[in-house]
Each structure stands twice: as C-alpha cells, then as structure tokens.
Structure 1
C-alpha cells in the first residue's frame, strides 16, 4: 500500500513545480539578460498536458465513489538542455524531493497572488507515490534524457482521506534536479510541483455489507438441517499477523507459474478483517539458478508480492462460510479453497486428496469471472478431473454496480452425497460425490489415494486426513497481466467459520 501511495503522490507534485519556477513572470524573472549559458539544463514533463498557460499541474480531483475505483496517475520525467539542444557529452542529475522550496512557497502564501494556492497545502506523504529512479541520465547525442516514472496511488490516498483525515486536503509534491555532472542547471526551471486535491465525501448510512460483522452465530444450517454447531472459526478481530496457532504462511513461488512471491508481510489483521495486499515489489529469489528449467528457480526476481495462509485445521463434512470483499482489477486471482491432506505428507498428493474451490476469481477468455469448482485424481499423475462452473462478474455488477466494493458470503455445504457451493445464498455448483472417485493418480497405490474418493474417504488410520483451508491472493497467471494503475490491490476477509453436526 505504501508503494502505491508513493507513486500517486509523486505524479501529482511534478506538474506544480514547473508552474512555480517557470511560468509566472510577476514573481519569477526569466527574461534573458545576456549571460545565460545555453547549456543550462531544464526539466521537461507532460508537454501534452501543459499548454503553457498554466504551469501548475493538478491531478483530477480525487474523491470517494463506491461505484468507481479512481485510476492511479503516471507521469514521465526527463531533462533537456536549454532550447532542447543535442547533448555533447553524457550528463547525470539527481532527483530529490525539494521540501525547502515548498516550505518557502507555503510561508509566502499569505502574500496572495501566485503563492495563494499554497495556503493550507501539505507535502504529499511518501506512501502515496513512487518514483522509479532518483537519477536522470542524458546521453551524448540525445536531446532528452532517459525517463523516470512518477506513479501516484489514487485509491490509497482516497482511502486515507475517507478513513483517517476525514476532511478535504490539498497535497503538493516538489521534485527538483540537482548535482548535474556535465552542465549547469538553470535554477529557475529545475523544479516541478504537483498539486493533488483529495476531497472527503461524507458517507450516508450504508448497509452492513460494507463493513466487517461482529456477531458469531453458534448454530448453522445446511440441507434444511439446523443442528450444526460452530466447531472452528477465525474472526480476524486482532491486530497484526493472523493467529499462528490457526494458520501457517506459504512462502515464495508456489504454483501455476504465478507472478507473486508469497510473503507473510502482506497479510495483516486490521479493522476487524484480514487484509491481504498484492504489491508491485521486487524480491530477490534465493533459489535462483541461471538456465534452470524449473520456473521457481529460473526467475532471478519476483516483481510482485502477496500472501497465502493455510489452516492448521482439517475437516470432513459440514458447512464452511467465508465473508470477504475481493479485488477485481486485472491481474487479481483471489481464492478461497481447500485441499485434502494428512499428517503423512507423502500420502494424498494433489489432486488425489481432492480440491474444492469455494471461490476463485480470474479471466475466462478475457472475461472476468467468478468460479466454483472441485477436482480429484485422474489416471495421470498431477492431472485432475474437474467439475467446474464460472459466471461472468458482469452478471453481478449488472444487478449491483457497487458489488465489487461490498463484502459477500461464500459457503460450502458438504455431506456424503453432495458438495454445494453458494455465493450470497445462490447455488453456483453442485458436485455429486458418486462421480468423484480418483483414478490411479499415476501411482496405483491405494495407501496414497489411488481409486479412493477424497470427499468421502476418512483416510488412513491415524493420519488426520481432511480438507485444509487456503486464503490467498495470487497475481498474474489466470488473472491476467496486473494493471499497474490498480496496485496495490487488497483482499479483505471478514471471517472463516466451519459448522458440523454435534456428535
């Protein structure tokens, strides 16, 4: 979240600096006086946006809208010589956040005029933007330097205004070029400032679907039965990491050649929910081997991070209910799923232990879709037989444009005849357990799960066989290429509850 916010802020600030230093001759004297070095550097930015009449670049107003996610803003920064001459030699400059210039303008705001717009502004906090580089390099023979990118994270800033500040604010980000290695810098055109105004919207009373719930029913129902008792749950009401007595973290690259590196740092409990955050964040792969054919080893870096937690609890039969709010940006692959396992790690390897996808969200033929699936073993090792179902996201957002901003309830009812998967009470898929017996699994080993039914079988003696719960946010893969303008993305889980018949 901090990285995204950094990108957003940086973008907004750059435009303002240009205006302050190079546009208003009433306050800044830029007239030629005969001794200007024609090689003095100037900062070039957003020429297509700036028409010369107004140098202060203002990001479009940001405000909370439950029906629309604000887009992140990205700007390209570069340097050029005076009058955009061809560089005769290589030159490098540093990019800094020029707080001194901003503070000077704020101090002069009472004078009015050009400085009036600095009244009540603040420096944009670094968690709302990200600058791709702190240097610009102008190579000999070129007019413009290589570009750096400033990304401002709109959604994070809007959330901050709505939840923390609770009043409208204007922020400024001043970016300045210094320490030129070959050419002098014109001090009157060396700073860019971005203005961004985030408007607080007082929300009307909204339904409880927007917020975590706090009541925990001790009795559940399924198949018309009302004698189900709460046997295991996590309400995620703490602060910080989830309960490690109940969950373990997956680490690193895991499956499906996805893009993210799973890290425990991306899952935290806050405000009554578990929040899993998917970020654009480079992580060095400690298992890297150049030339390896193993996808987990031939990537020197992961460019994204996220989290996946797995329950230490296993169960057979009953009702499992999860209330969650999922990210729907391109590249997101949130899931609520289970796999069969036991204390004997060499038994019931996937898919012989069975898999139940209570929720998966990813693209089908380029169409964002919500899935409800189950699978079990075929006659080929690591190859599954599937009972799959998916429905386009548009089916839900067409009925409720605010669907993606709300919490929803995913439920699995499981007895010895059927597995039924629901979304907000609507049946998504029904799996007949008469059809879910494994093939050989490529092993032809009954003890390891061949020919057995993972959704009916109690497992081998003493191995504690059952389904364990996964909550994860994958990135890439079936989810598509992540939309950088929507990062970071957040997956909120309010609770996980399992109900079973009292014995």
Structure 2
C-alpha cells in the first residue's frame, strides 16, 4: 500500500511539474474580442484606399513570377460583400498575365495580435495565392528579406489542390537555405468554400490556424536572437495571386483555367492584450 501511495505521489508531482511550461508560454496573453482594424468589404468599387495600397510591377518578385501586378479594377474590386482579386491571362505590360497584390503597409501595421482572413481560393495549375505578412520596418541585418522576417498565413499552389501551407522565414530559417519552419494541412473544398485563415502572434510564438484549428506553431526559443526571431517589430498584411514562379509554376501554367479569383469575405485584426 505504501508503495502505491508513493507511486501516485510521484506521478502527481511529475504531472504538476510538467504543466507550468505549457501555461507560462501563453500566460498573460489574450486577444481582444473585437477587432481594432478590419475590412468587411461592405461597399463596392476599388478596395478602400484608407486601408489598402497596391504593389505594382512585373519584375518577377524574386520568384520568377509571370504576372504584372496592376491597380486595375479588373484585378482587384469589391462587390457583393467580397474583395475579389483576379488573375487574368492577358497581355499586361511585358507580362502575359495580370493580377493584383494589395498591401496594408502604412495603413494597417501590427505588432502581435490575431489576424483572421476568411477566403475562398483560386484553383488550377500555375496559380499561387497567398495571405501573408512582411516587416513594415527595416531593423535587422541587411535591412531586407529575409532578415526582417515573413509570416505566411496561407499559401496555396494550384497543382496541389486543397493543401495549404503556413510558414515563417527569417535570416536563419528560410526556403533559400532550406531551413524554413512551417507545415501544411489539407483543407476540404479550399476553392469552393470559404475558410478562415488565422495567425495568432504573441511575443512567445507564431501560430497558424485554419478554421480555428492550429497546425503550425513556431515558438521563440530562449537562445533566439533577431536572426531567428525578428518578430518583435510591426508587420503588415499582403493579399495576392501570383502566376507561375519557382513554386507556383513547378508543374507549368494551365492557361485554360484563367481567369482565377481569390474571394475574401473579411479581414480582421484583434490586438494582443494583457490579462488583468
């Protein structure tokens, strides 16, 4: 009987000792219940200029992409309560495709918090939509990518339908070095139904979720410096559809699928708060 009591005591003690590390990681952090920055797209026409700017050009964007990003309403418009980004097979500048890349930089810059985007994705080989975040300030290293960081809330390549990816990129961890940190998950009917793509970002971790279910967490380790963890400065949101490129074009581009759209029902940012 005494041995049984000792055994139970040891198991209870070990269990108690194992809990604080899990609790401490999130202790003191929670997200506000209402967003402090959002776009519900309850209007018509071009995206709200108070919240969004356009990244423009046809320079390949570091990935040998094939589209020209424009500010044309045919590539980015709001109607019926949705933002619609459309990639089109057409001559656009020197490119053979047009699309749009919306950025919130200078109009929506965030440090920690929860970002939610409800979206329905394009489909077809050669499409490469993304919902992601980049640094808004140049603070570290070469003052460029990847030193100042990237958070991918959702990436999808059309040749691998229904699989979405979440990643982070830093100087130490990035796809060029083949050291990037991330994961992927199957999302049923990703191009037929809306799903909620979320990033929960605290001083201790970056977590990526789909429909409220986390599938990737990148924790800040005690030994990390800026090269591993540049995620202590403001970031902004980017919404785009690329065509082709080093990843999206790995299996070519099927011109017959165009035009292709990413529809976004809403974008919401909930700030991080301290428990009181």
1:230 equivalent to 2:35? Answer: yes
What is the aligned partner in structure 2 of residue 183 from structure 1?
none
Quote the Cα distance in structure 2 between the aligned partners of 1:434 and 1:308.
Answer: 33
Quote the Cα distance in structure 2 between the aligned partners of 1:270 and 1:356.
Answer: 28
What is the aligned partner in structure 2 of residue 460 from structure 1?
none
Q: Which runs of 5+ in 1 are unaligned?
A: 1-221, 285-300, 439-449, 458-464
Q: How does 1:342-421 map to 2 (within 5 A)?
A: 342=137, 348-362=143-157, 367-368=160-161, 369-378=163-172, 385-391=179-185, 395-397=186-188, 402-421=189-208
The answer to whether the Cα contact below 8 Å between 1:278 and 1:307 also exists between their aligned partners in 2 is yes
Quote the Cα distance in structure 1 between the aligned partners of 2:191 and 2:173.
Answer: 39
Q: Which runs of 5+ in 2 are unaligned?
A: 1-25
Greater mean deviation of Cα atoms: 475-484 or 350-359: 475-484
The answer to whether the Cα contact below 8 Å between 2:170 and 2:228 also exists between their aligned partners in 1 is no
Tell me the CA shift for residue 429 of structure 1. Answer: 0.6
Bigger relative CO (Cα 8 Å, ≥ 6 apart): 2
1:424 equivalent to 2:211? Answer: yes
Change (3 A) 1:386 1:261: same
1:467 equivalent to 2:258? Answer: no
Change (3 A) 1:345 1:451: closer
Quote the Cα distance in structure 2 between the aligned partners of 1:396 and 1:414.
Answer: 22
Quote the Cα distance in structure 2 between the aligned partners of 1:226 and 1:314.
Answer: 16
TM-score (norm 2): 0.77
Answer with 1 or 2: which has the greater Rg.
Answer: 1
Quote the Cα distance in structure 1 between the aligned partners of 2:95 and 2:190.
Answer: 32
The answer to whether the Cα contact below 8 Å between 1:321 and 1:409 also exists between their aligned partners in 2 is yes
- The residue matched to 1:230 in structure 2 has which SS? coil
Quote the Cα distance in structure 1 between the aligned partners of 2:80 and 2:152.
Answer: 27
Q: 1:277 aligns with which of 53, 64, 86?
A: 86
The answer to whether the Cα contact below 8 Å between 1:238 and 1:272 also exists between their aligned partners in 2 is yes
Quote the Cα distance in structure 2 between the aligned partners of 1:362 and 1:436.
Answer: 34
- The residue matched to 1:257 in structure 2 has which SS? coil
Q: How does 1:250-289 map to 2 (within 5 A)?
A: 250-253=55-58, 254-265=61-72, 266-284=75-93
- The residue matched to 1:404 in structure 2 has which SS? coil
- The residue matched to 1:274 in structure 2 has which SS? strand
Quote the Cα distance in structure 2 between the aligned partners of 1:226 and 1:467.
Answer: 17
TM-score (norm 1): 0.43
Quote the Cα distance in structure 1 between the aligned partners of 2:32 and 2:44.
Answer: 33
Change (3 A) 1:379 1:330: closer
Change (3 A) 1:250 1:227: closer
Quote the Cα distance in structure 2 between the aligned partners of 1:339 and 1:474.
Answer: 16
* Count of residue pairs the alignment pairs up: 237
- The residue matched to 2:65 in structure 1 has which SS? coil
Quote the Cα distance in structure 2 between the aligned partners of 1:323 and 1:264.
Answer: 22
Displaced runs of 4+ in structure 1, greater than 6 A?
A: 343-347
- The residue matched to 1:378 in structure 2 has which SS? coil
